[in-house]
Amino acid sequence: MRIPCPYCGARDAHEFAYLGDATVSRPDPAAPDAEDAFFTYAYLRDNPDGEHREYWYHANGCRQWLVVTRNTRTHEILGASLARASEVTA
């Protein structure tokens, strides 16, 4: 599996460390339902069939967090962007 790092170019997956779901975002700790929201945020994950956005860290390359879109059924990589940039545009 090769991941197209926006900085380094296409690299083998063994250069990366996998974190997981990039679709969840940290809840507001001051919200009245913060306890439930944090439980969901920390522990509950969907197990999607098909396209999924997930965090990969390019540990043995540019040392950046990426958001990679991967098809969980075929392992086809449909795209990758820097997580820091995507935080701005998300």
Residues at the contact surface with other proteins, assessed by CB under 8 A: 7-9, 11-12, 14-15, 60-64, 82, 84
Q: Indicate the SS3 state at residue 16.
A: coil
Residues 6+ apart with CB under 8 A from 41: 24, 25, 26, 27
Q: Which two tokens mark 44? A: 């509950």
CB of 3 to other proteins, least distance (A): 12
Whichever of 45 and 84 has its CB closer to other proteins, that residue is 84
Specify the residue, 14 or 75, whose C-beta has the smaller distance to other proteins.
Answer: 14
Which is closer to other proteins, CB of 11 or CB of 70? 11
